[in-house]
Amino acid sequence: MQSILENYRDSIFETFFGNVHHCIVIVDHQGHISYMNDSYCDFLGVDKEKVIGQHVTAVIENTRMHLVVESGKEEMADLQQIRGDFMVAHRIPLKSDGEVVGALGMVLFRDTDEWKVMNTHIKDLLLELETYRNQMQQQNGATYSLHDIISSSPEILELKNKIKKVAHGDVSVLIRGESGTGKELFAHSIHHLSERSTKPFIKVNCAAIPEHLLEAELFGYQEGAFTGAKKGGKQGKFQLAHGGTLFLDEIGDMPMHAQVKILRALQEGEVEAIGAVRPQQVDVRIIAATNQPLEKLIEDQRFREDLFYRINVVQVQVPPLRERPDDVRVLSKYLLQKVSDRIGKRIEEFDQEVYDLFQRYNWPGNVRELENVIESAVHLTNNDVIQLDDLPEHIQPESAIIQEQSSLKELVENTEKQAIERMLKKAEGDKSLAAKWLGIGKSSLYDKVKKYKL
């Protein structure tokens, strides 16, 4: 005897899905709509007959159904914005014999009036949250926390765990890694996780402050301390960071005489503003970052060994992007979303060839370069999907010199040399501009220009 399910499958299906208030959609393994119930069609104002067969992204705003089909992972109670309102969506992959064959999506709201009240409430809360976040950022200067560090590589996961362990307490942390690898994100995250998180996070870019201003910047000055001193004097970064964290970025570029003063401030816990009669007590936690080989600088007597030991209590080494291939795809997707939101242009994806190239490319400027490349492509493209042609010339495949029998080191160096050569040419010899485009520091570009005799 055949079961009722076999005989009346379609009617049961329609009774079940067709008569509920919830919006229901079913997509196939390619993200094309196979079914949409009346509630959903009414809500979107679309014709039931016409939506069947269309790609879900063409019909539903901000949908992630096609991504759920791709990942095979369910997404429950996710907030989705449709026509300016927040909805709660469930997205469930449909499997047969272990294979994902499609996905079922459900947008929940029991009745529109009830939902409207809740929706206004959510919007209100999000706005309030945003206001508090902005206030916090303005107060303490640390914008990012650990969940902003996007990664699926084991190396970064390990670093995140290390940071969770050392963030509490006041231990000094030295973050090392090439330019653009995300060192600053880690510095922010340490501050966020520490007991000092409600206190200021003050960044000093040691490479960017002219030598003769560094002392005044770091320790401040009293009114009338020198000609041109501001009325009322000025607080130094150490005083501003009191109770919080002082982030000494590019510490390898700090001049020797400033290093002596910083060391004294750290050892004695007090600083003396220029022109002050007595020193001031300061309580700061130090996080330093550099892409310079500090041990080599110590050998060349350009960095003080005692300062090195003072700042290098815990070391965090952020690997370059080319050494974490697992991150290239997730970061590309994340940055595409970030850049398209910023620019206000809706670009959904990269062509597979672009992913392949991203995977092969050397990324001398690391994540910053990846972001710059994506930003340039989003500006230039006329498609919804970024194609190879949309990418800047210096990363195009033909620019990679692939010679047989080259060692990996030679390949990497050749590619790096060629990228720098092209950028210098494009920037008409302007090294600052070329460094910016490549996403590396000026000093790093100078070192490479010297190395490759460009």
Of 44 and 289, which CB lies nearer to ligand ATP in the complex structure? 289
| Cα–Cα dist 105/91, whole Å | 4
Instruction: For residue 198, count CB atoms less than 10 angstroms from its CB and return exposed for 0-12, middle for 13-18, buried for 19 or more.
Output: exposed
Q: How far is the CB of 440 from ligand ATP (least distance, A)?
A: 7
**CB-based contact 271:239 (threshold 8 Å):** yes
Of 182 and 200, which CB lies nearer to ligand ATP in the complex structure? 182
Instruction: For residue 124, count CB atoms less than 10 angstroms from its CB and return exposed for 0-12, middle for 13-18, buried for 19 or more.
Output: exposed
Question: Which residues are near ligand ATP by CB under 6 A?
Answer: 149-151, 177, 179-185, 249, 289, 291, 331, 367-368, 371, 441
Q: How far is the CB of 436 from ligand ATP (least distance, A)?
A: 11
Q: How far is the CB of 306 from ligand ATP (least distance, A)?
A: 24
| Cα–Cα dist 249/202, whole Å | 10
Of 147, 145, 270, which is closest to residue 197 (Cα–Cα)?
A: 145
Of 116 and 133, which CB lies nearer to ligand ATP in the complex structure? 133
The residue of the chain with the least Cβ separation from ligand ATP equals 182
Of 239 and 332, which CB lies nearer to ligand ATP in the complex structure? 332
Contacts of 352 (CB under 8 A, 6+ apart): none
The 8 Å CB, 24+ separation contacts for 329-335 are 329/355, 329/358, 329/359, 330/150, 330/151, 330/152, 331/150, 331/151, 331/367, 331/370, 332/358, 332/370, 332/374, 334/150, 335/367, 335/370, 335/371, 335/374
Q: How far is the CB of 371 from ligand ATP (least distance, A)?
A: 5
Query: How many CB atoms sit inside 10 A of residue 366's CB?
Result: 25
Q: How far is the CB of 272 from ligand ATP (least distance, A)?
A: 29
| Cα–Cα dist 92/273, whole Å | 62
| Cα–Cα dist 76/164, whole Å | 28
Q: Which two tokens stand for residue 10?
A: 């379609």
C-alpha distances in Å from residue 131, one per residue of 73, 128, 141: 33, 5, 15
Residues present in the chain in total = 454
| Cα–Cα dist 140/377, whole Å | 34
Q: How far is the CB of 185 from ligand ATP (least distance, A)?
A: 4
Q: Which two tokens stand for residue 385?
A: 């999907």
Of 92 and 193, which CB lies nearer to ligand ATP in the complex structure? 193
Of 39 and 366, which CB lies nearer to ligand ATP in the complex structure? 366
Q: How far is the CB of 378 from ligand ATP (least distance, A)?
A: 15
Of 184 and 416, which CB lies nearer to ligand ATP in the complex structure? 184
Q: How far is the CB of 161 from ligand ATP (least distance, A)?
A: 15
Of 180 and 392, which CB lies nearer to ligand ATP in the complex structure? 180
Q: How far is the CB of 312 from ligand ATP (least distance, A)?
A: 17
Contacts of 70 (CB under 8 A, 6+ apart): none
Q: How far is the CB of 204 from ligand ATP (least distance, A)?
A: 12
| Cα–Cα dist 33/29, whole Å | 10
Of 149 and 262, which CB lies nearer to ligand ATP in the complex structure? 149
Q: Which two tokens stand for residue 339?
A: 């850049």
- In which order are the strands placed within the sheet that holds 75-82? 33-36, 23-28, 99-108, 85-96, 75-82
Of 160 and 360, which CB lies nearer to ligand ATP in the complex structure? 160
Query: How many CB atoms sit inside 10 A of residue 427's CB?
Result: 16
Of 294 and 331, which CB lies nearer to ligand ATP in the complex structure? 331
Q: How far is the CB of 207 from ligand ATP (least distance, A)?
A: 9
